[in-house]
A and B are shown apart, each in its own frame.
Chain A
C-alpha cells in the first residue's frame, strides 16, 4: 500500500464518516451539513403514483359532474362518464355499437376540455363539442363531415335527456355540490310548508266566508242581484228574496272569540317570512328570510333572532289545523296554547321549517366560530355546515397553525364525531360524486350536520390538479373519508361507515407501479400509497426531502413503508425513500427525514382509530375472539381428556350441553272444553245474522264486537235454544241439555238437539 493510496483511503474513510454524519443529521433534523444530498427544488417532483394521470383530460373519471335540472334530489348528480355510459347502453346496441362507442368517447373528451375551460351547461358544451368534431372530420372532395360520425352524434344527442351545469373539480366544487344537493332538499321542505300554509289559509278563510255568506250583509238584496247577474234583471225582487232568506231562519254565526282567533291565525300565516304565503305577485308579500350563510355566527344569530317567529308559526299551524277541523275547544286548548313556549317545539315540528346552510373555509374560521359550530352541532340546531379545508398542513403541525385560528377542520370533525349527536361526513372533493347520497342524507337528517370536505386547493401543490390532490389525500389516509349518521340505526356499526377509502383493511392501499429501467426493461412494483407520498407533493415540505444518488452512494436506503413499519425511532443508518417522478418523467428515489415521518405516523394512528370505529382490526373484537378461542381450546382439551378416561356416568353427560328444548308443536288453541249440559256459542264465528236474537234477545245477546253469546240460558225455553241452533246460519249454537225437566216435548227436542252437540 503506498502513501498516496493510504492517504486516499483515509480521505475516503473521513468522507464516509462525514457522509454518515450528514445522513444522520438529515434524518434526525432535516438539516443538511454537506451539500451532496440532492436538493429536490426545481425538479417539479410529484409522487410516482400520479404518473398514469399526467394528462387528466384524456382519462375518464368522475369529473366533470353534471348537476342536472329538476327537483329529484336522488337523480340530480351525474358524472359525465356515467352519463355517456348510460347513453351508450341505450344507443350502442346494434352492429355499429363499436363505432358509436368510439365516437361517444371522443365527444366526452371534447366536452371535458370545454368544461375545464370555464363554467358552462352540458347542452352548450355538448353542442359545441359535437360541432367541433364534425368540423374536424370534414375531408375529401365533397367537403361534408363524416356521415358515420354525424349519425353517432345525432343518436347520442337524441337519447340525452339530462341537462344542467357542468362542474369541474376546483376550489369551488365542494360549495357548489353541497349547496346544490342541500338546495333541492330545502326546496322540498319549503314546498311542503308552503302547501300546508296555503291550505290552512284557505280553510280559515272558508270559515270566515261561510259566516259572511249567510249573514244579513251577505244575503242583502244588492248582493243577491249582483250574484244573479244582469240577465235576470228586474224580473226578480231580490229584496223580497233577501227577506225570505234572512227572516226567521237560523243563522250560522261564529262566536266573537273564535272569529278573533281565526283572524289572528290568518294574520300569522300571511305575515310569516319563512315561505311564500301563497299571495304570489302581490306587493304586500313580506320579504322572505335568507337561509344561506358564509359565517357560522351570523347563521346562529339569525336562527336565534327568528326563534320567536318560528314558535309563533308552529303554534299557528297546529291551532289552524284544529280550527279548520272544527275541533278547537276553547275550554281546554286556550290554556294549553297560552303556555306554549320554545320548549314545545319538538324536532317533529322543527323538521317542517327551512334550515340553514353555512359554507365556510376552515382557514377563515376563528376559535369563536369553532366553538359556536360545535355547540350548534351538539344542540341539534337546524344548521348544515360545510367546512371546506384547503390546507391540510395547517392543522397537522403546531408550527403551521396561527395562534388565533379555530380548530382545524379535522379536529372539528373528530369532535363532532365523538359527541355522536349529529350527522358528520368527511371526504375530499374527488369523492363527492360517490358521497352524493350521504350528502343528501345529511341534508335531510333532522338537526345539525357537518360536512368537512378537502378541496385539493393550494399554491404549494404546484400544478397538481385539484382532483388528484384530493384523491391522494384520501388514498394516503391523510384525510380519510367517513360518515356518521345517527339516524341510520342505534349501533355504531349501523351509523358509522368508512366511506370510499380503498383497501380499508391496510394501513395504506397498495398500488402497482410499472416503469422502464435503465436497460429498457419493464419493471412492476407493488408500492403502498403512503402519507409521505402525499406530503412530498407539498412544496412547503421540500426541505424535508432529498434526492438519493442514482449510483447508490448514499448508503442504505429502504422503502418508506418498510422503514415506518420497523419503527426504529432512532438513527439506524438507513434512510427511507419514496418514489417520485420529475417533470421530465424520470423516476427518483427521494429521501425523507424524521419530522415528515412523524407527520405520517400521526395520520396512521388516526387511521387506526377510524378503522376500529369502522369495525376493522377492532381491539375489543380481537380480545373477545382470543378469549373465545382460549375457551374453545380448553373445552377441546377437556373433552379429549374425558374420552381417554373411563366413560362418564350418564347423568353427567348432559352437563354443559344445550338445554333440551321442548320441541312439541305449537299448541293450537283447542276449543275450550265445555260442560255438555250447558248451552254455548262459538262466539268468534258468529256472523251477526240476527237469527238467534230475533228468537230471544234476552237469552242471546251481542258482545262488544256484535257477536252473539248466551247471556242467560234460563231466560227462555229449551225449544227456543234448539230452534236457534237450527236456524243459525253458521251452525255455531250448541243447545246442551234441557234445564227444565218439565218443559213439554223434551224427547223430540233432545233428538233435534243431538245434531248440534
Chain B
C-alpha cells in the first residue's frame, strides 16, 4: 500500500536548522540522589536516548509521581511534571491526548506505582497510550527513609516492618503481562548500562505503552539487596532474539547466561517473567498491533474541526428561533 505518512521534504529542509543537543544540553541542575544511586544510570540512559534520537527539549515531557525516582523531571532540561503520589500515569495520559506531538516519558517508583498508584498502573496498561514508562524498582521507599514497598522481598527489615516483612514481594512483570492490551514489557537493571539503553530505545520506538521495570540499587537503604546478582553475573540472564535485542560480544563474555526468547510469545514471556533468580534482562513481550486509546479517541469521526463545529451547531440550533413568523 502507499505510505502517505512520511513528510520527507519538510524533514530535509528542517535539517538545515538541526539544533542537536549533546548530553549536557538535556541536563538541568545537580541530581540530589545519593552518591551511588542507580537512578543516575537511568538518567544517563534517558539523556543518551534523547541525544541519539535527536528529540527536542520542547517536544519532550517527563512526568513523575512522588519518590526518589520521581525527582527525575527536575534533572531533565525538557518539559516536566512532578505530579502527586501515584498519579504520574493519569497526568501523562492527559498530556498524551492533549498534545499528541510530545514525546511522553514517565518515571515512577515501586511504591508510587504498585501501591498507591496500582489502579492507574493497571488501567494505563490497558489503555495502551503511546509513552515510555520507567519504573525505578529499588524495592523500598527511600525518600521517606526506608519503609517496605510492595516489591520488598519477604523478610525486609524496615521502619514499617521492624521484624521483617511477612509477605512475598509483588512481581510487577507477571502482573503487567496479565493485563488486557499489554503491548510492551521489558526488564532492565541499572548496572548494565548498555542493555538499559538498548531497552529504552526499543521502548521509545514501540507504538504504544512501553512498560520497563528497572531493577535499581539503593545503596543507602538496601545496600546488599542485589549483591547476589551484582557479584555473580551468571545470575543475570540476558534475553535476545533476532526480532528483539542482540547482545554485544563484550557483554556476552561478561554475562555468560543467555536465553533466546521471541517477544511475541506471551506465554513464554509470563514464564520467564516469573523467574527471580536468575533475573531476566531484556524485552519480555512486544506486540506492535495492539490498538492505542489515544489514537482511537482522536479519530477523524469525532475530533476533526468540522465535526466539532457540526456538533456545536446542532446544539446551538436547539436555541434558535426558526421558521414560522407572525405573518403566516
Contacts and interface: CB of A to CB of B under 8 A. Distances in A.
A690 interface: yes
Interface string B144-161: 000000000000000000
A446 interface: yes
Interface string A191-204: 11101001001100
Interface in B173-197: 190-194
B321 interface: no
Contacts of A193: 4
A669 to B, nearest CB: 5
A322 B192 contact: no
Q: Which of B36, B43, B306 has the largest number of chain A CB atoms within 10 A? A: B36
B10 A686 contact: no
Contact of A351 (B4, B192, B217): B4
Contacts of B296: none
Contacts of B192: 685
A689 B306 contact: no
A504 interface: no
B305 A669 contact: no
Given A202-B305, A689-B38, A729 B191 contact: yes
A755 B39 CA distance: 27
Q: Which of B219, B250, B300, B310 has the largest number of chain A CB atoms within 10 A? A: B250
A704 B253 contact: no
Contacts of B17: 327, 329, 332
A499 B33 CA distance: 67
B48 interface: yes
A558 interface: no
B6 interface: yes
A332 B14 CA distance: 10
Given A321-B7, A730-B191, A705 B14 contact: no
B13 A689 contact: no
Contacts of B41: 687-689
B22 interface: yes
A668 B31 contact: no
A707 B193 contact: yes
Nearest to B300: A195
Interface string B129-172: 00000000000000000000000000000000000000000000
A730 B2 contact: no
A333 interface: yes
B326 interface: no
Contact of A322 (B10, B37, B47): B10
Given A198-B305, A729-B217, A706 B35 contact: no
A689 B23 contact: no
A349 interface: yes
Interface size class on chain A is: 35 or more
Nearest to B24: A706
B304 A198 contact: yes
Nearest to B30: A690
Interface in B249-273: 249-250, 252-254
A307 B149 CA distance: 66
A678 B41 CA distance: 26
A706 B44 contact: yes
A684 B194 contact: yes
B93 to A, nearest CB: 22
B239 to A, nearest CB: 19
A694 B38 CA distance: 15
A446 B47 CA distance: 40
Q: Which of A188, A318, A322, A686 has the largest number of chain B CB atoms within 10 A? A: A318
A688 B4 contact: no
A278 interface: yes
Interface in A263-285: 278-280
A352 B217 CA distance: 51
A688 B190 CA distance: 10
Given A686-B193, A690-B35, A730-B191, A444 B1 contact: yes
B12 to A, nearest CB: 9
B4 A192 contact: yes
Given A327-B17, A349-B9, A706-B23, A729 B36 contact: yes
Given A278-B306, A687-B38, A322 B44 contact: no
A321 B14 CA distance: 10
Contact of B193 (A314, A446, A684, A691): A684
Nearest to A671: B250
Interface string B95-108: 00000000000000
Q: Which of B9, B41, B190, B248 has the largest number of chain A CB atoms within 10 A? A: B9
Contacts of A694: 35
A23 to B, nearest CB: 60
12 contacts: A198-B304, A278-B305, A332-B16, A332-B17, A348-B9, A668-B253, A669-B248, A669-B249, A684-B193, A687-B41, A687-B190, A689-B37
Interface of B: 1-2, 4-10, 13-14, 16-17, 22-23, 31, 33, 35-38, 40-41, 43-44, 47-48, 190-194, 217, 219, 230, 248-250, 252-254, 300, 304-306, 310
Nearest 10 CB-CB pairs, A to B? Answer: A687-B41, A688-B44, A192-B4, A706-B44, A669-B250, A444-B2, A689-B36, A318-B10, A321-B10, A688-B40
Given A191-B300, A685-B191, A729-B217, 6 more contacts: A318-B10, A668-B253, A685-B193, A689-B36, A689-B219, A705-B44
